[in-house]
Structure 1
Amino acid sequence: MTLDRRAELGEFLRSRRARLRPEEVGLIDHGARRRVPGLRREELALLAGVSVDHYVRLEQGRTLHFSESVLDAVARALRLNPVERDHLYRLARPWSGEEPPAEQHVRPGLRRLLDSAGDMPAYLLGRGTTVLAWNRQAAALITDFSALAPRDRNKARMVFLDEGMRGLYEDWPGKAADVVAYLRLDAARNPGDAEIADLIDELHQADPEFRGLWDNHELRDKTYGRYVYRHPVVGRVELGFETFRLPDDPDQALVAYTVEADSPSATALRLPAGLAAESQRV
């Protein structure tokens, strides 16, 4: 499923129109029956202060040469958040598509940083949710990445195709929604990446839950948050996470988990880390 930027742009704008009701944006609904949910194109154009024809050309992707003022006006009318606004700009601007993405490599210093993280699980995420590197604490908490084939070291593929992952996350539906929203954003950032396109196509065919979430057109960057794990050995572990993007390669993100000091989760987290150390010595 190669990303068709014109089709993606239209679907994205329609999905954002659909979530707005006339009364929410100060329009009077005269009670006429609506064939589609949300705002009509004419209403959105009115709110944005652009001609209906101009907005229709944007939504239909007839051209990718829209001015910054038009895109800003449409973003305000649709009440887009910063991530969604950047996504609109990315889709509505020309892209040469001449050079394939470069192969990603992990610097030795990053590997040393992961290994020196103590009891803190951490891993390095690349394009298309590929796990590029990890420490033994992350392997003990999530899965033994080293035992997986390189193509299977992928968070999206694991979350949807590995049954063990469904039991690992206390809120699997929330985790799945996060992964899909991030993958859609990543696909738009890297429209020429054939591996991301193949991954989306594979998951689209293999899992109806992925298809349903993909059709929602949600977008979410990986920044910080909280997940609760149900570890098979130590039970429930509540962790926060922080994400740090590499300045020289923003397609690589270091994801580090945190835990409150002296909490039950902090105590529990030491056991899988110890088990990982033992397994490495065997």
Structure 2
Amino acid sequence: MASSRSAFAALLRAWRDRLSPADAGFTVTGGRRAPGLRREELAQLAGISVDYVLRLEQGRAKNPSAQVVGALARALQLSRAERDQLYRSAGLLPPRDGTVGTHVPPGVQRLAARLGDVPIGVFAADWTLVWWNALWSALLGDPSVLPTAERNLARALFGNGAAHAWGRPVRSERGQDAFAASIVADLKEAVSRYPEDARLDRLVRELREGSDAFAHHWVTGTAAQHTTDRKTIGHPEVGDIVLDCDVLIVPGADLRMVTYTAAAGSADAGKLDLLRVTGGRTAPAPS
């Protein structure tokens, strides 16, 4: 078991040293002693503590969970083969084919990291959020405060857990009912593609049993294609901000990249610029 932890630690250190901070979306400044990511940067990307990263790299942390290993693999921008190697070195089986994938290809992450002036979130086929940038957090709230299982758009819309109470109010120009119906339609399609995915099956069963609205859409809904939408986000710092929301499909990975943009020079673009500077933190009221 100690040798397994040692192998995991060695891979983690080597792949952290390999990843360029710029490719991960960080601004590169002088004074860096090593070309790769710092531990605190990896911790931020993976949504875990710096102390835990340190213990993993020193081989002192036992039995990291599949969720932690998956988050580290995405943060380190590993290829699918490297991801599987990291899982095995942790004593875990890699994700099986035929289940909803949460792996974000390195090229997609590099592309998204270079679009730092656009709020971007990457979702799996079951609408679980698996990657986001700093401006996404500033606009909509920091997803890292949620348990991993709650970082799911369907749970936010129809569940009664932490996801439902989290984040900013978002209104769709198409109407909330039409938007909700499209998410349920996506889940029905995902079930047809991944009939053996236990996590997806559990998500659907819980929502059908716990939400009358979800159950209604599941029974009566038809396929609903995602199109460009306009969303109004109620933000505590900048007030209502109206943005175009686009859903871009990543071919071959069954992922959805969701972006929010505003026309250059518009008042809403100015609000996004402010959020980019403040990080979405509400300024204290004057005394």
Q: What's the TM-score bracket when you normalise by the shorter of the two chains?
A: 0.5 to 0.7
User: Is residue 260 of structure 1 aligned with residue 247 of structure 2?
Assistant: no
Opposite residue 193 of structure 2, the aligned amino acid is R
Partner of 2:136: 138
Across the aligned residues of Structure 1 and Structure 2, the Cα RMSD in angstroms comes to: 2.6
Unaligned runs of 5+ in 1: 1-97
Q: Distance in 2 between matches of 1:195 and 1:241?
A: 27
Change over 3 Å in CA distance of 1:275–1:212 after alignment to 2: farther
TM-score calculated relative to the size of structure 1:
0.56
Partner of 1:94: none
Partner of 1:36: none
Shift of 1:140: 1.6
User: Is residue 244 of structure 1 aligned with residue 248 of structure 2?
Assistant: yes
Unaligned runs of 5+ in 2: 1-95, 283-287
Partner of 1:106: 104
Q: Distance in 2 between matches of 1:168 and 1:241?
A: 11
Q: Pick the structure with greater CA Rg.
A: 1
User: Is residue 222 of structure 1 aligned with residue 226 of structure 2?
Assistant: yes
Change over 3 Å in CA distance of 1:174–1:235 after alignment to 2: farther
Shift of 1:102: 6.4
TM-score calculated relative to the size of structure 2:
0.56
* Cα deviation code 1:118-159 (max 9, x no counterpart): 321111111211111011111122221111111111111112
- Is contact 2:135–2:279 with CA below 8 Å preserved after alignment? yes
How many residues of Structure 1 are paired with residues of Structure 2 in the alignment?
Answer: 181
Q: Distance in 2 between matches of 1:236 and 1:155?
A: 21
Opposite residue 169 of structure 1, the aligned amino acid is R
Shift of 1:247: 2.6
Q: Distance in 2 between matches of 1:262 and 1:122?
A: 20
Match of 1:209 among 213, 219, 224: 213
State, as a whole percentage, how many aligned pairs show the same letter: 30
Which one has a larger percent helix, Structure 1 or Structure 2? 1
* Cα deviation code 1:75-130 (max 9, x no counterpart): xxxxxxxxxxxxxxxxxxxxxxx964264312333333223213211111112111
Q: Counterpart of 2:220 in 1: which secondary structure?
A: coil
Higher relative contact order (CA 8 A, sep 6+): 1
Partner of 2:165: 163
- Is contact 1:159–1:165 with CA below 8 Å preserved after alignment? no
